[in-house]
Copies of this chain bind each other. A is one copy, B any other.
Amino acid sequence: MRAGPSQEEIRRHNLSALLRHVHLGGPTSRAELTSRMGLNRSTIMALTSDLTAAGLVREELPRETRRAGRPSLVVRPESARVYVLAFDIGVDRMVAARVGLGGVILDRREAVRRRGPFDLEEVVGTLVGFARQMLRKTRPDTVCVGAGAAFPGGVCREDGVIRFAPNMGATDVPLGRELSRRLGLGFPVEVGNDANLAALAEQARGFGVGCQDLIFLQGDVGIGGGVITGGRLLGGHEGYGGEVGHMVVNPGGRVCSCGAKGCLEAEVGERALLELAGRYGSQGGRDAVRAIVEAAGLGDRAAQKALSRVGDWLGLGVANLVNIFNPEMVVFGGTLRELYLGAAAQVRSRITTEALAASRETLRLRTSALGEDTTLMGAAELAFSRILADPLAVLARATS
C-alpha cells in the first residue's frame, strides 16, 4: 500500500465484488447486496447501473415478495449473454462447454478419447471443433469473455505447459498455447490441473461453499488432488503442488505410472481395483469402476474384497492428508465418488485409526456436489476469473 487506492481502483474493486456475488450466489436483491457488501444503497445502485449498462447483469422485480412496500430489485447475472468456453480433458473423454455467467451450462459437447500416447493434434482438433460448433450457434449479442481447460497432469505455473501426465502419456505439452492459437479468441486459454480446478469449483458452488480448508480427491485412471488451505489453492513453488496421488502409502507396493512404488494412485487407482476384482484386461474407465461397486453391492465376493482393499488404502491416504492439512472437508470426485460410497466403512475406519483425534474430529467427508462436471465447472471458473477481476475493462476488450 503505497498510498490510498484511487477512486477508480475502489470502483473497480467494488464492481468486481458485486459481480462475483451474483456470479456465485445467483440472483440477489439490492437490499441483500447492500448488507452483504457493507456498502450503502446509493453505491450499490451506482455499481449495479454500471454493470447493467455493460450488459453483465440485469435488474428485475422479484418473482414474489411477502413484504409490504416497494420490493427491492433483484440483480441477476446475464447468463445467456456473457459466457466462457470450458474444456475438460480426461483419460477417456474430452468435453467442451459454453458456460454462462452464474455457472449455467448453455451448451455442451463430449467425445470419447482413446487411451494411448497423447495426441495433441487430436485433442486440440476435437475441442476446437466443438468450440466452433457452439460459437456458430450463439446469438450476435452474446460475448465470450474467457476460456479455460482442465487437464489431469502437472501444469507449470510459469508457462502453462503440461509438464507431466503419466496417465495421459503426456510430457511437456504446450496445450494452452495450441488451444489459444487455434481458437484465436484474442485472449489465452488458461490451463489448470483438473483436481485443483475441481477443488475451486467445489468451493465456489458445491459442498465447499464457505470452507477455507478443503481437499478434493479426483479419481480418473489415477488420483489427483486439489488442496485449498487458508482459503487459497495450494500451488507450491512452480505450480505442481497437490499431487497427493503420488504420496507413497505402501513402500514396495504396486508400481505406479510415475515410476515409484506404492503411491496412493497405484494402490487406489483404476488398475489396482480392476486387478483385485479379477477384471483387469476388460475395458477400464468410469463404467468399469461403477460396475465393480455395483457388483460388490449385489454380493460379488471378488468385487467386495477388491473394494475393501482399495478402500483401506484410500482411508490411509486420507488419514495422512488429515494429519498434514487438518482440513475441514475432504471431497471425493470422479471415480472416487463411487469408490468412496462403496467403501466408506473402510475409509472411515482407517481415518479413525490413523489420524490424530484433534485433526479428524470436525472433519466432514463428502462426494462432489457437482458430479461428473466438477472439473469442467472448475475450468469455467478459471475462465471467468479474468472478467470477475476487472469486469468493465475485460468486457470492453472482449466486445471491441
Is A210 engaged at the interface, CB distance under 8 Å to the other chain? no
Q: Is B247's CB under 8 angstroms from A250's CB?
A: no
Q: How far apart are A275's CB and chain B's nearest CB, in angstroms?
A: 19
Is A240 engaged at the interface, CB distance under 8 Å to the other chain? yes
1/0 contact trace for A1-34 toward B, CB 8 Å? 1111101001001100000000000000000000
Copies of this protein chain in the complex: 2
Q: How far apart are A173's CB and chain B's nearest CB, in angstroms?
A: 13
Is A68 engaged at the interface, CB distance under 8 Å to the other chain? no
1/0 contact trace for A247-289 toward B, CB 8 Å? 1111100000011100000000000000000000000000000
Q: Is A247's CB under 8 angstroms from B324's CB?
A: yes
Is A236 engaged at the interface, CB distance under 8 Å to the other chain? yes
Q: Is B320's CB under 8 angstroms from A248's CB?
A: yes
By secondary structure, the A interface counts as: loop
Selected interface stretch from A51-59, A98-106, A135-143, A351-359: A351-359
Q: Is A324's CB under 8 angstroms from B358's CB?
A: no
Is A381 engaged at the interface, CB distance under 8 Å to the other chain? no
Q: Is B5's CB under 8 angstroms from A10's CB?
A: no
Residues of B within 8 A of A246 (CB): 323, 355-356
Q: Is B238's CB under 8 angstroms from A356's CB?
A: no
Out of B7, B328, B354, name the residue touching A260 (CB < 8 Å).
B354
Residues of B within 8 A of A259 (CB): 353
Q: How far apart are A168's CB and chain B's nearest CB, in angstroms?
A: 14
Out of B5, B163, B251, name the residue touching A249 (CB < 8 Å).
B251
Give residues of chain A (316-330) contacting chain B, Cβ–Cβ below 8 Å.
Answer: 316, 319-320, 323-328
The docked-state distance in angstroms from the alpha carbon of A236 to that of B328 is 8
Residues of B within 8 A of A146 (CB): none
Q: Is A38's CB under 8 angstroms from B2's CB?
A: yes
The docked-state distance in angstroms from the alpha carbon of A39 to that of B2 is 6
* Residues A237 and B326 in contact in the complex (CB < 8 Å), given A243-B359, A248-B320, A354-B260: yes
Give residues of chain A (29-83) contacting chain B, Cβ–Cβ below 8 Å.
Answer: 38-39
Selected interface stretch from A87-95, A121-129, A226-234, A298-306: A226-234
Residues of B within 8 A of A323 (CB): 243-244, 246-247
The docked-state distance in angstroms from the alpha carbon of A319 to that of B258 is 13
Residues of B within 8 A of A244 (CB): 323-324
Residues of B within 8 A of A353 (CB): 259-260
Q: Is A213's CB under 8 angstroms from B237's CB?
A: yes
Out of B7, B248, B249, B359, name the residue touching A240 (CB < 8 Å).
B359
Q: Is A237's CB under 8 angstroms from B212's CB?
A: yes
Is A206 engaged at the interface, CB distance under 8 Å to the other chain? no
Q: Is A229's CB under 8 angstroms from B241's CB?
A: yes
Residues of B within 8 A of A212 (CB): 237
Residues of B within 8 A of A242 (CB): 324, 326
Q: How far apart are A18's CB and chain B's nearest CB, in angstroms?
A: 12
Q: Is A248's CB under 8 angstroms from B249's CB?
A: yes
Q: Is B164's CB under 8 angstroms from A358's CB?
A: yes
Q: Is B319's CB under 8 angstroms from A248's CB?
A: yes
Q: Is B238's CB under 8 angstroms from A326's CB?
A: yes
Is A235 engaged at the interface, CB distance under 8 Å to the other chain? yes
Is A239 engaged at the interface, CB distance under 8 Å to the other chain? yes
Name A357's closest neighbour in chain B (CB-CB): B164
Q: How far apart are A103's CB and chain B's nearest CB, in angstroms?
A: 25
List the interface of chain A (C-beta within 8 A of B): 1-5, 7, 10, 13-14, 38-39, 154, 156, 163-164, 212-213, 225, 227, 229-230, 232, 234-244, 246-251, 258-260, 316, 319-320, 323-328, 353-359, 362
A-B contact pairs, 9 of them (CB 8 A): A156-B358, A163-B358, A230-B234, A235-B326, A236-B326, A242-B326, A243-B359, A247-B320, A260-B353
